[in-house]
Amino acid sequence: MHARLDPYDGQPGHEVDDPDLADPGGGVAGQPGLLGCVTFREFAGSAAVCLTLWDTEASAASFPGLRAGLAALSGETYEVIDTDEGLAAGRTPTCARLLYFDGPRAPEQVVAADRAGRRRIWPTIRGLSGLVGIYVLLGRDLGSVVVTLATSTNTLDAAARAVMATDLAPDEDPALLPGPDRVEIHRVTAYQMPAAAPAKEGRI
């Protein structure tokens, strides 16, 4: 499975109140290979993001955006390397946290992040009642985005506190785990996504 992230900056001609952002189904319906779509809007800003899931990288790369004239910034295509369901799977999320780990990154950083997520982070947050699901996206330059969907900002805050309270395992190298380059908190404006599949062995 592959993903596409298309940012929208709210500049003239690219208004984030556009109906295509409020209802993604109308903007992507009928696109070959489309698996799901969710749109986000900053709580305290004009920026918005559209996340779409696709069956192949080619399908994701050929997507022109919700409307060809709407996207102000170029979209990025990713491989979905991990997904998992929280206790609130099946419910519609109201908010999301996007963690951006900018590339290029070394392969050993990706391995370290994968191991930390699987062994330490996911076991710490998986029991939160408002957690809907998580998607981990990996770019060609090994940069990644972790999308956490929840039913409330309280759940996102609880997840962040729980992760910060954990100690690194003896075999974890802090130099390989520098933390995200950017953190964005959004409200979910529309949601048409499949449930996150359980993570594969060796993944988060």
How far are the Cα atoms of 4, 98, 140, 145, 148 from residue 193, in angstroms, in the given order?
13, 16, 24, 17, 13
Determine phi and psi for 109, rounding to 5 degrees: -70, -40
- Dist. CA 4–CA 63, nearest whole Å: 8
Query: Would you say residue 117 lies in a domain?
Result: yes
Residue 31 has which token pair? Answer: 């696109």
Q: Classify residue 179 by burial, with Cβ atoms within 10 Å: 0-12, 13-18, 19+.
A: exposed
Q: Is the pLDDT of residue 195 over 80?
A: no
Query: Would you say residue 166 lies in a domain?
Result: yes
3 state DSSP class of 33: coil
pLDDT of residue 23: 55
DSSP track, 71-91: --S--EEEEEEEEEE-TTTTS
Query: Would you say residue 102 lies in a domain?
Result: yes
Query: Would you say residue 61 lies in a domain?
Result: yes
Q: Which residue has the higher pLDDT, 67 or 176?
A: 176
pLDDT of residue 67: 57
Query: Would you say residue 87 lies in a domain?
Result: yes
Query: Would you say residue 198 lies in a domain?
Result: no
Model confidence, pTM = 0.86
Query: Would you say residue 8 lies in a domain?
Result: yes
Determine phi and psi for 104, rounding to 5 degrees: -75, 145
Q: Is the pLDDT of residue 12 over 70?
A: no
pLDDT digits (tens, 9 = 90+) for 82-134: 999 999 999 999 999 999 999 999 999 999 999 999 999 999 999 999 999 99
- Dist. CA 113–CA 94, nearest whole Å: 27
Query: Would you say residue 199 lies in a domain?
Result: no
The domain in which residue 172 lies consists of 2-192
Q: What is the CATH number of the domain that holds 130?
A: 3.30.70.100
CA-wise closest residue to 183 among 96, 95, 99, 117: 99
Q: 27-45 burial, b if ≥16 CB within 10 A, otherwise e?
A: bbeeeebbbbbbbbbeeee
pLDDT digits (tens, 9 = 90+) for 132-154: 999 999 999 999 999 999 999 99
Please state the domain count of the chain.
1
